[in-house]
Chains A and B, each alone.
Chain A
Amino acid sequence: EAGVVQSPRYKIIEKKQPVAFWCNPISGHNTLYWYRQNLGQGPELLIRYENEEAVDDSQLPKDRFSAERLKGVDSTLKIQPAELGDSAVYLCASSLVADGSYEQYFGPGTRLTVT
């Protein structure tokens, strides 16, 4: 079974530029999460989707971040414009809520460097 796929794996951009990250969850997983992991820290939730609905986006900086999950499958996270402080690893995870375990499976992440 294929795991959570993310692309790109690495991205270097200049500040004020836009950037987008893509995530393909495990097939059949209805819940999708975007986390941000700063250097030396644990991941922190940005947004959680149940199917195509964003059910928890309280930690998403909405002035510059946006996300979508069309058709309840793939998801895209966008930053526009990027700031130096956005340098981090962006992790996508998915889970199958219906089985009751809520176990989250993580992708390899996208390492963003803003210069």
Chain B
Amino acid sequence: GDSVTQMEGPVTLSEEACLTINCTYTATGYPSLFWYVQYPGEGLQLLLKATKADDKGSNKGFEATYRKETTSFHLEKGSVQVSDSAVYFCALRGQAGTALIFGKGTTLSVSS
């Protein structure tokens, strides 16, 4: 079945450092790909998405490119802030239905 694998955390960075969180997927067909973020004490929020190959999703300085040839959707940010500290989830939605399939999440901690 469809699945998502993302790098394990925690990831600890200093403010203004570069961030990459790896995400790869296994799916039949052409899934849509998502990054969700969960800030402490809050619900899941959609960060960005891409619906077809080579699409780049971006939001709040974060970017991810849908790479079909490598089945990847890595999350990147050039300069992280303390306020980016959160848990990040990679997810896919297959063509057949609308339920999201999530990775296990990666905790990011940014210190000043």
- Is the Cβ of A43 less than 8 Å from the Cβ of B43? no
Q: Which one, A41, A43, A56, A95, contacts B44 given CB within 8 A?
A: A43
**What A residues does B99 contact at CB under 8 A?**
33, 45, 48, 56
Interface digits, B8-37 against A, CB 8 Å rule (1 contact, 0 not)?
000000000000000000000000100010
Q: Which one, A42, A95, A106, contacts B98 given CB within 8 A?
A: A95
**What A residues does B57 contact at CB under 8 A?**
none
- Is the Cβ of B103 less than 8 Å from the Cβ of A97? no
Q: For window 72-108 of chain A, which residues contact chain B by CB distance below 8 Å?
A: 91, 93, 95, 97, 102-108
**What A residues does B42 contact at CB under 8 A?**
108
Q: For the complex, would chain B's binding face be called helix, strand, loop or mixed by DSSP majority?
A: strand
- Is the Cβ of A91 less than 8 Å from the Cβ of B43? yes
Closest to B38 in A: A106
| Bound: A104/B97 CA distance, A | 13
- Is the Cβ of A43 less than 8 Å from the Cβ of B102? yes
| Bound: A57/B46 CA distance, A | 24
Is B104 in contact with chain A by the CB < 8 A criterion? yes
Q: Which one, B32, B44, B93, B104, contacts A106 given CB within 8 A?
A: B44
**What B residues does A91 contact at CB under 8 A?**
43-44
**What A residues does B46 contact at CB under 8 A?**
103-105
Is A31 in contact with chain B by the CB < 8 A criterion? yes
- Is the Cβ of B102 less than 8 Å from the Cβ of A40? no
**What B residues does A106 contact at CB under 8 A?**
36, 43-45
**What A residues does B105 contact at CB under 8 A?**
40-42
Interface centre among A3, A42, A48 (most CB of B within 10 A): A42
7 cross-chain CB contacts under 8 A: A42-B91, A43-B89, A43-B102, A56-B97, A103-B46, A104-B100, A106-B45
Residues of A in contact with B (beta carbons under 8 Å apart) = 3-4, 31, 33, 40-45, 48, 56, 91, 93, 95, 97, 102-109
New A-B pairs, 18, CB < 8 Å, besides A43-B44, A106-B36:
A31-B98, A40-B104, A42-B4, A42-B89, A43-B102, A48-B97, A48-B99, A56-B97, A56-B99, A91-B44, A93-B44, A97-B98, A102-B98, A103-B49, A104-B46, A106-B43, A106-B44, A108-B42
